């Protein structure tokens, strides 16, 4: 049997509000953790909170006592392994939990660790310590049930986690490689805030030479018609960025009735939208766009457009993906009347 105890009785004092109720992609922080263990454990015990599909245990005055309360709900004759996990680690993965259970079933325990990557100073003398002599531990920590139950009954005092409890009783524990993305939410700034936005733009052709898309001029026997340079790719990205950062659309900021924008380079407008988003507290993570037209051929110019746009969006070129397609000669675009672009962006709160 596999059991999981999820500790969720803390007060979130350093976070400033109840971090376990914060939403991530439509689910609470605690629900993310619970869902992973419901998929890999035979029974899930949540300490301090009621969660559908999990057994409830009362919270204790300390984390250690909360875990003891959870352990007491496991039958003393139970065989197998038990994972203890902090509810404030919502990024744990099913594969990671499965690996730790498997290692604990082999070695009797499995405690994930990460090397220290920052410089360490000791208080008082302010002398730097050799970080190679240190590592941090994560949860879930998985143990043979009978041994952890016995350790909890025999040990005295308080313990910050189960690895220290287990080591105090048995003198050793099996350490294994941790997961860097398995972050514990302690402060509000630890909580990622991502937003998506979409944009769409279309421009017809008119007499002229050369089509501008993504700040790149593509040789052609016509040009796109618009108040600015009619760069539909930049315009679609503008709307996507403005939308993701909670702002009004491109027409609000750069109306086509304003003469100052007549013939303007749309990469300038895109850079301004990036700035508006930054003022709203957001930066671009990545962008994707599809250019829809029968002609001209877009593929030979995609790399140059991606590099130009990446510079404006302040991301690496690999974070800008542009593709091209046709409508198989259906409709106005299929008749070669113009160019349309659909774009989406992912943004992160600064």
State residue 190's pLDDT score: 82
The beta strand positions in 249-326, using DSSP E, are 282-292, 320-325
Cross-strand bridge partners of residue 128: 121
Task: State the pLDDT at residue 189.
Answer: 82
> What is the DSSP pairing of strand 120-121 with strand 55-57?
unpaired
Q: pLDDT at position 129, please?
A: 87
**pLDDT at residue 350 greater than cutoff 90:** no
Mean pLDDT, the chain, rounded, equals: 94
Choices 3.30.70.330, 3.30.1330.50, 3.40.50.2000, 1.10.3720.10: CATH for 194-349: 3.30.1330.50
pLDDT grade for 293, boundaries at 50, 70 and 90: very high
Chain segment 193-241, per-residue pLDDT in tens: 889 999 999 999 999 999 999 999 999 999 999 999 999 999 999 999 9
Residues 250-280: pLDDT tens digits? 999 999 999 999 999 999 999 999 999 999 9
Which residues make Cβ contacts (< 8 Å) with residue 150, sequence separation at least 6? 169
pLDDT of residue 273: 98
Helical pair 63-71 and 145-154, crossing angle rounded to 10 deg: 130
What is the pLDDT, as a whole number, of residue 155?
A: 85
Would you state the pLDDT for residue 321?
A: 97
Distance CA 138, CA 340 (A): 49
Tens of pLDDT, residue by residue over 324-335, are 999 999 999 999
Give span(s): CATH 3.30.1330.50, the chain. 194-349
Residue 14 has pLDDT above 90, yes or no: no
The helix/strand count (H/E) of the chain reads as 10, 19
The structure tokens 């920052």 sit at 118
- In the chain, CATH 3.90.550.10 sits at 2-190
- DSSP secondary structure of 180-215: TT-----SGGGS--EEEEEEEEEEEEEESS-EEETT
Q: Is residue 137 a contact partner of residue 161, using CB atoms and an 8 Å limit?
A: yes
Write out pLDDT tens, residues 82-122.
Answer: 999 999 999 999 999 999 999 999 999 999 999 999 999 88
| Domain at 2-190: CATH code | 3.90.550.10
pTM for the model stands at 0.70
Higher pLDDT, 15 or 35: 35
Residue range 54-65: mean pLDDT, rounded: 96
Q: Among positive and negative, which fits the CA dihedral 165, 8, 54, 105? A: negative
Reported as a single tens digit per residue, the pLDDT across 140-193 is 999 999 999 999 998 889 999 999 999 999 999 999 999 999 999 998 888 878
Residue 128 pLDDT grade (very low, low, confident, very high; cuts 50, 70, 90): confident
């Amino acid at each position: 049997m596999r059991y999981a105890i999820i500790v969720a009785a803390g007060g979130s004092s350093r976070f400033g509000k109840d971090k376990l109720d914060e939403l991530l992609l439509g689910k609470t922080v605690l629900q993310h953790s619970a869902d992973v263990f419901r998929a890999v454990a035979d029974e899930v015990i949540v300490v301090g909170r009621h969660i559908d599909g999990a057994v409830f245990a009362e919270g204790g005055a300390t984390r250690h006592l909360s875990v003891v309360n959870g352990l007491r709900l496991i039958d003393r004759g139970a065989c197998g392994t038990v994972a203890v996990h902090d509810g404030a680690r919502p990024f744990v993965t099913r594969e990671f939990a499965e690996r730790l259970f498997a290692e604990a079933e082999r070695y009797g325990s499995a405690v994930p660790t990460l090397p220290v990557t920052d410089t360490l100073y000791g208080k008082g003398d302010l002398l730097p310590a050799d970080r190679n002599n240190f590592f941090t531990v994560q949860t879930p920590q998985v143990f043979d049930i009978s041994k952890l139950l016995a350790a909890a009954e025999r040990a005295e005092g308080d313990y910050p986690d189960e690895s220290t409890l287990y080591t105090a009783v048995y003198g050793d524990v099996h350490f294994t490689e941790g997961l860097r993305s398995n972050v514990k939410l302690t402060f509000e700034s630890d909580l990622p805030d991502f937003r998506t936005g979409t944009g769409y733009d279309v421009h017809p052709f008119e007499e002229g030479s050369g089509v501008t898309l993504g700040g790149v001029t593509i040789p052609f026997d016509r040009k796109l018609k618009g108040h600015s340079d009619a760069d539909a790719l930049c315009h679609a990205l503008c709307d996507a960025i403005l939308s993701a950062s909670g702002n009004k659309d491109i027409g609000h900021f750069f109306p086509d009735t304003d003469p100052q924008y007549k013939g303007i380079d749309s990469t300038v407008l895109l850079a301004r939208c990036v700035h508006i988003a930054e003022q709203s507290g957001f930066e671009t993570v990545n962008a994707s766009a599809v250019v829809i037209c029968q002609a001209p051929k877009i593929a030979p110019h995609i790399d140059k457009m991606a590099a130009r746009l990446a510079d404006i969006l302040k991301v690496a070129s690999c974070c800008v993906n542009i593709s091209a397609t046709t409508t198989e000669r259906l409709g106005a675009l299929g008749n070669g009347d113009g160019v349309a672009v659909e774009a989406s962006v992912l943004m992160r709160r600064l």
